[in-house]
Structure 1
Amino acid sequence: MDWTRQIDSYCERLSPVYWAEPVNAVTNAAFLIAAFIMWNRLRGQSAPLAHLLVWILAAIGIGSYLFHTHAQVWAAIADTTPILLYILVYIFAVNRDIWGMKPWVALLLTLMFIPYAALTVPIFQLIPGLGSSAGYAPVPLLILIYAFLLRNRVPQIAKGLATGALILIASITFRALDLHLCGQFPLGTHFMWHILNAIMLGWMIEVYRRALITSRA
């Protein structure tokens, strides 16, 4: 694998220089802001997985910044790995602490996300215009499935999950529109993927935080 191969996937990037995507790079600060807000909200609360999610959220911002400045294969891996880790940790947290599953059961079901994504991504790839964003589309669907299944058990938490899914759908839409709108809007819309994603990921930690408070009460 050529770790330093250049990647040009967004409207804003017109050259391989470091600051070719200034808006896409700078808007990654939204992830750090969201992480800081949730770090403060979790202060004094015994919630190890929630704190872990906050650190992963910050890592998402750093990884994405590296990708939108260096735009190389190694940076793309630094960008996507924390996202996958966040998804897996969050699923495990919900399985264990909201569904009340034993840790080994929660872990087993968490790992089922891999075949679930492998099965659903090709289906989403059939949607015209979705492009590479199809790789993220199974996530809001899974969140909505969880929200539906939890609607009677913890209705407020289910509503919170559904809200997060809707924000993510909007975020994925902006990501998918980026290359299609280059002619009309050269800046592109990928930066909205960062802003909305930061809001969504921070909100999902808040939903989990509230769920822990409710369960302990």
Structure 2
Amino acid sequence: MTTMWNAIDGYCERTSAAYWAEPVNAMTNLAFLVAAVVMWRRTEGLPLGRAMCGVLAAIGVGSYLFHTHANGFTATMDVTPILVFILLYLFAATRDFLGLGKWWPWVAVVAFFPYAALTVPVFSALLPLGSSAGYAPIPVLILGYAALLWRRAPETARGMAVGAAILVVSLTFRTLDEPLCGTIPMGTHFLWHILNGLMLGWMIEVYRRHRFAAGGLAG
């Protein structure tokens, strides 16, 4: 019977159920922790920015546990902080980038779920993304916000576009992990970690720059 404690072998580098079967995938989660520490120091006076840094650190810890223990329970610990970061940033972008107050940020958070439910199957059908299809709607969403901000906050819009571009490259390496397994024994998933650490840290920096440019230190 399949349980949440059953071992998962989802990446090229893993060849057994041993704790250190994915050393590169495990250790490259340091990228998330480094980004979290760097941005924590830069987000003083921004409680919401500090919250993003905390979630970013949790992403690194959750992913580390998944790439060492690799079972259904740690898989949940891996993906949950990622979802929390997405929703937190969506709230912040709606409130502080678009300037929509009251209940609009919460509407955006709730709307993410039907948005993902509708778009993930489309990406799955159109592109050979495998499990990466679940992340494919995110760069599209980021670019959508960038388009809305292009005139009112061009620097923020460019920053978000850069973040979306990094995420697309990161997703490409995540997707190629299994197809290139015969050529690259360690796989390419570790580049997903490194680039995502960079990308998420950068997205927090975009938020920080926007808030300080607007002269707002609260939130």
Quickly name the TM-score band, shorter chain normalised: over 0.9
Shift of 1:157: 0.2
Give me the whole-angstrom Cα distance separating, in 1, the residues matched to 2:14 and 2:84: 27
Read off the aligned partner of 1:102 and give its amino acid letter.
Answer: G
1:206 is aligned to: 205
CA distance in 2 between partners of 1:194 and 1:157 (Å): 24
What stretches of structure 2 of length at least 5 have no aligned partner?
Answer: none
Aligned partner of 1:197 in structure 2 is 196
Secondary structure at 1:103's aligned position in 2?
A: coil
Residue in structure 2 matched with residue 158 of structure 1 by the alignment: 157
> Match for residue 65 of structure 2?
66
Q: Residue by residue, what CA displacement relative to the aligned partner does 1:20-78 show, whole Å, maximum 9, x if unpaired?
A: 000000000000000010011123xx211110000000000000000000000000000
- Higher mean Cα deviation, 27-36 or 94-103? 94-103
Q: Percent identity?
A: 57
Correspondence list, 1:110-129, <5 A: 110-129=109-128
Residue in 1 aligned with 2:7?
6
Query: Could you say which residue in structure 1 is the equivalent of 2:34?
Result: 33
Which residue of 2 is the match for residue 178 of structure 1? 177
1:171-209 superposed Cα distances (whole Å, 9 cap, x missing partner): 000000000001111110000000000000000000000
* Alignment partners' CA distance in 1, 2:105 and 2:204: 18
TM-score (structure 1 length as normaliser) = 0.97
**Following TM superposition, by how much is the alpha carbon of 1:86 offset from its aligned partner in structure 2, in angstroms?**
0.1
Separation of aligned partners in 2, 1:72 and 1:36: 28
**Counterparts in 2 of 1:133-144, with a 5 A limit?**
133-144=132-143
Tell me the secondary structure at the aligned position of residue 16 of structure 1. coil
Letter in 1 for 2:149: L
- Secondary structure at the aligned position of 2:125 is classed as coil
Post-superposition offset of 1:101: 1.1
Deviation at 1:103, TM superposition (A): 3.4
Question: Partners in 1 of 2:177 and 2:139 — Cα distance?
Answer: 19
Amino acid at match of 1:30: A
**Inter-partner Cα distance in structure 2 for 1:62 and 1:127:** 33
Q: Which runs of no fewer than 5 residues in structure 1 stay unpaired?
A: none
Match of 1:22 in 2: 23
1-structure distance, mates of 2:147, 2:96: 17
TM-score (norm 2): 0.96
* Pairing of 1:85-100 with structure 2 (within 5 A): 85-100=84-99
Compute the displacement of 1:128 (Å). 4.0
Letter in 2 for 1:133: S
Across the aligned residues of Structure 1 and Structure 2, the Cα RMSD in angstroms comes to: 1.0
Does 2:129 match 1:130? yes
Cα distance between partner residues in 2 of 1:151 and 1:36: 30
Secondary structure in structure 2 of the residue aligned to 1:126: helix
Structure 1 residues 135-158: Cα deviation after superposition (integer angstroms, max 9, x where no partner): 000000000111011100100000
Number of matched pairs: 215
